[in-house]
Structure 1
């Protein structure tokens, strides 16, 4: 029998230890990351036990709407879904998902938004949940997005345009700094995004907090010329994947290929460290319905091709 329990602060150590030793040990499933934006989301994470043994967790938030109460995994994260210990087999995963459904029904939660974990983040096979949510929970695909990934051990050739910019960058003897000035980076990023009517998802205070708490997982790569930061990439480093959370460059940086140089050198560095994937993130808008073809082409020019990222919806009251 599976017991479902809502997470509480006293379970923090147990939760974090479980995540670190799970099939998908991503640092942003740890409580210090999940709770940095607690002022934006109401946490409703769940823990699942079999005979007092913790076998699964669900990072989640609760959302109250006119049409009812919705559980989302997790409102503040790009990826989510259930996280399992390596020994858990398919039949027990089915029981965990039944327990999740029963918990929602008994707490008047009538909808579930379930963000699938891309397979590149798996340390062990871990997609049983997608089978059960579709075939036994009658889920529908609420959103499908396209995310570009470079396979570092089977990297495609970069485009001629990228080669030319890299050549220009090397001729300028650019130097890449690791974990440089975050305030300069944030100013550069904000200026770039404002030109497109957008703003950073994180505040400078939030990024500083996350860097302090996850110093090995959040890495800033930047280039300065005469004291001015002209290009930068903020990387989220997972066990086998490096993800470009933010990329930014000004006109001077574009002219001499500074950001291209950062990206290419970062891919080379992490390949040499044994990483398999370099992720550029999504190139879709409006919940995946609109493809930003120009953005996709830019990412593909670095040798990337795309994977689908799905979000499912279950309506328990139907």
Structure 2
């Protein structure tokens, strides 16, 4: 890669197919960076994504930056949990340093005063991809948020706690099974009830979820724990390649008492996704990472999950 030939251009719709193809072949991209996913809530965010090319024309994409804009702030990405530079195996540390220099210059000419950068968690890297973290350090970026996400290493992994094994055994005796479901209305009702107890609401409406599933049926699966024909617990899973991510886990009271979630996680970990590298349960932090939900993180760690840090940075231009 000739770093002196790199340049940035704003994303535009005619680059859509090439953007999506690059995400698929990248070393740190997931289907969340596909334009069909990013744009399902386009009415809520001002897209400001950038494409890096090598050379004078637009024949060679070397990196993508999924981004939105809010005032004079660039955010990577406002509608996603994470969204740093998406790169492929050709990316080098020197080239990433150039990309941040170019981003600084571009921002100066487009009224952008600050970048909020949400680095992509390492569990989504198919190859080492921390070039951006070094470039952020060199640029003087400040860590402003550190979320703890809980991830199971599927090989060799950490054993379930005694309590989780007991809950699974109880579920088996009761006849609880984990099945695929398409009842998003019931799932969303259960999810709302669970989150309302914590003064929270789902990030996705039921219509959002149905729209996303219609666009990505191969990547989004809804699992239910079934007890005598009734769903007692649910898990919405995003299949991100080497990592399967439980976007939402929710259980009815009888599901919590009957090992509903344990039954689903057992199927995810030891059957459907056993050949993958990681199973992610998502973050257990609030207040920009400063508050750890001890009960929530303990439940995830009882499945054998361990902490992985998801940093956010602010970079002033």
Give the TM bin, normalised by the shorter chain: over 0.9
Partner of residue 212 from structure 2, selected from 196, 204, 210: 210
User: In the alignment, what sits opposite 2:61?
Assistant: 54
User: In the alignment, what sits opposite 2:262?
Assistant: 260
TM-score normalised to structure 2 length: 0.95
Matches of 1:85 and 1:147, distance apart in 2: 24
User: In the alignment, what sits opposite 1:247?
Assistant: 249
1:229 pairs with 2:231: yes
- Structure 1 vs Structure 2 CA RMSD: 1.2
1:285 pairs with 2:292: no
Stretch moving more, 179-188 or 250-259 = 179-188
User: In the alignment, what sits opposite 2:277?
Assistant: 276
CA contact (8 A) 1:144 1:311 kept: yes
User: In the alignment, what sits opposite 1:303?
Assistant: 304
| 1:10 partner SS | helix
Alpha-carbon offset, residue 179 of structure 1: 3.1
Partner of residue 45 from structure 2, selected from 33, 41, 44: 41
Gaps of 5+ in 2: none
Matches of 2:202 and 2:70, distance apart in 1: 23
User: In the alignment, what sits opposite 1:91?
Assistant: 94
| 1:144 partner SS | strand
Matches of 2:81 and 2:25, distance apart in 1: 21
TM-score normalised to structure 1 length: 0.94
For residues 50-129 of structure 1, the aligned pairs below 5 Å read 50-51=54-55, 52=57, 53-64=60-71, 69-129=72-132
| 2:213 partner SS | helix
Deviations 1:80-107 (Å, cap 9, x if unpaired)? Answer: 1101122232222221221111101111
Matches of 1:203 and 1:141, distance apart in 2: 31
1:14 pairs with 2:18: yes
| 2:198 partner SS | coil
Give 4+ residue runs of structure 1 displaced > 6 Å after superposition. Answer: none
Gaps of 5+ in 1: none
